[in-house]
Each structure stands twice: as structure tokens, then as C-alpha cells.
Amino acid sequence: MKKTKKILMIATGGTIASRYGESGLAPAMNTEELLSFVPEVKEFCEVDAVQIMNIDSTNVSPADWLKMAETVRENYEKYDGFVICHGTDTMAYTAAVLSYLIQNSEKPIVITGSQKPIDFPVTDAKTNLADSFRYCSSEYASGVQIVFDGKVILGTRAKKTRSKSYNAFSSINYPYLAIIQDGRILQYEKRKRRAKPEFYSGLDKNVGLFKLIPGAKAEMLDAYFSLHDAVVIESFGTGGIPDADGYGFYDVIDKWQKKGKTLVMCTQVVNEGSDMTVYKVGRNLKKKYGFLESYDMTPEAVVAKLMWILAVTKDKSKIKRLFYKTIAGDILYKD
């Protein structure tokens, strides 16, 4: 007889748990209320629930990510899988961070939410939550992933690409792991299970993401470096920084590179990634200043990975080695 999986739901708030108030939607429902809308999950799994916070995901911080990871770690031996209810706005960041804080998990850690509250007459919340429990209870699931709108997305590859539509998330430079249709799981990729997960308990929150725009001032980049241990420059196209007269970016980069700051390049283009060797404005930076580059990683994964790495080590050679090490499928093309 097939064993019934025990799943722990970890509630953090988000739209799925929101109600209207005088100032608009805000998280208000508890775990019992959420579960009351998906009674069918009792047919294929046993569910316990814990509420560790009840916040809009816009307010999520590195401290909250550590709390989520610690909740999984404390309960890891008691359950077969975990479903985390979360707001959509920072869900991709959370999925990426948890992929680094909880590595090589044979048990699934599924993150879900919705674009409309679960008690609305028309909502995606019930389907997303039920699908998450269904996938979490399946024989295929392991590691961190987002389940949303019938799609299973690897935690390091998710990005919110629509602000209101139900198909809010896309898998960037990587295929969907599975599709869920009418309660049935169509599994495309079976990931390797590992018996011993690795848990980490630190994040360096001093990682900055600087979005380059035409005419940007070098003084702004200088301020970013002064406040952060690492700065990710989100550039145009395949990756580069203006080198024309009057910009002054190279002087700023030279100063902070000599002071030991970590320099990273990624691209504002959603698909296909970076390649700093294509143009002079990128090649010179990589050759002279040792920029790391994202290649096919998402900006969310780059930021999350740096927060994890810099909490592990400040050694430059180790930072580079860990950055280009493939973890949870986060990077395929690399140096």
C-alpha cells in the first residue's frame, strides 16, 4: 500500500491570505482558513501547518528567508515535504535564496501563492494551493521549486513576468520541470535525489543590484559600492558599461576593485543571458577588473547566490569558484 505523505504547510502571508481593508489588500488569514478552501488535499496527503509570519512579500527581508529555511530544517525529519505560501512579488527571490540555504534536498520544498486572495469568488489560489500539495506528494518532487498556474519551475530559474495575470511566472533559460493539468502531473525532468541535505544559516545582505540606464551617473555606482560588499550591475544586452568620455565609471570600478569589492555583471534582457566577450565595453571590464558574469542565471538567482556565498567566504578565489559552481540547476554556461 502506498504511503500517505506528510506535508507541512508554512504560511508567510501574501495575496493568497489577504483580505480587503481601508488601505487595500493585506495578509489576514491564518493557516486553518487557507486549508479550509482545499479540503480535497486530505485525499492524498496529511497536512500540518505553521504560521511563521503574515506579511506582504514586499516586506520580506533576509532575516525572513533565514526563518523560512530554519523552519524547514527544524521539521525536516518529521515530514515528507513542505509547501510555503508566499506573496508573488518577491517569490522568485525567495525561491532562489532557499535553493542556496537548503541544498541537495531529497524532499520537496514547494513555494506557491496567488494573484487573487483565496476567498475571492474567482481566484487562482485554490488551484495553486491544491496543485502544490499534489506535486509535493508526488514521487518526482525534490528540492526547491515554485508551483504556479499549473507549472513547476525550478527555484533558481523563476521570474515574475506578469503583474496581474494568473500565469505570473516564467522559467528563464530552463524548461519547466512539470505541468499539472486536471490534477495530473506531467513530469518533464526527473531530478536526482540526494539523501543528505545541506543547510546553511547565513546570508550577507550587503549585496546591491544597480540597474544601468542611458546617462546613468558614476556617482550613483560609487554610492552602491560604498554600501555593499558586492554590486551586481544589471547592464544592457550581453553586458558592458559605458566607456565614452565623461562617464567616469571605470574610475569608480578601479577604486572599489582595489578595495576588494566583488564585481558582477548581469543583463536586463530576460532570455539568453550575458556574454561580456562580445563587445569592447564588456571585454575590457572582464579582462582588467575580473568581473564575474551571470551568463544564463537570473538576476534573482545572482543576488541570492552572492548573499549565500559572501556569508560563507570573503576569499576572492573561493567566491569565484562558488559563483560558477552549478547549484540547483542555476547556471549551465560558465567560465
How do residues 155-213 score in pLDDT, each as one tens digit?
999 999 999 999 999 999 999 999 999 989 999 877 666 668 999 999 999 999 999 99
pLDDT level of residue 299 (50, 70, 90 thresholds) = very high
Pairing of strands 169-171, 24-27: unpaired
Taken in order 98, 18, 116, 164, the sign of the CA dihedral is negative
The answer to whether residue 333 is domain-embedded is no
DSSP notation for 20-62 = EETTEEEE---HHHHHHT-GGGGGTEEEEEEEEEEE-GGG--H
Residues 54, 193 within the same domain: yes
Query: Which of residues 175, 199, 223 is at a domain's end?
Result: 199
Of the candidates 12, 15, 31, 127, the residue annotated as catalytic is 15
pTM (predicted TM-score): 0.95
* Cα–Cα distance for residue pair 264/246, rounded to 1 Å: 23
Do the beta carbons of residue 267 and residue 239 sit within 8 Å? yes
Residue 334 lies in a domain: no
Inter-residue contact 305 to 98 (CB < 8 Å): no
Q: Looking at the structure, do residues 59 and 92 belong to the same domain, yes or no?
A: yes
**pLDDT for the residue 192:** 66
Active site residue 112: no
Q: What's the grid cell of residue 224?
A: 552602491
The CATH number for 123's domain is 3.40.50.1170
Kindly indicate the confidence band of residue 334, based on its pLDDT and cuts at 50, 70 and 90: low
**Residue ranges making up the domain that contains 87:** 5-199
Query: pLDDT (tens digit, 9 = 90+) per residue, 308-333?
Result: 999 999 999 999 999 999 999 999 97
Residues 164, 32 share a domain:
yes
Q: Based on the fold, state whether residues 143 and 227 are members of the same structural domain.
A: no
174 and 249 part of one domain: no
Joined together, the cell numbers standing for residue 178 give 512539470
Q: How many domains does the chain have?
A: 2
**Which band of pLDDT confidence, cut at 50, 70 and 90, is reported for residue 152?**
very high
Do 240 and 313 sit in the same domain of this protein? yes
Question: Are residues 74 and 185 located together in one domain of the fold?
Answer: yes
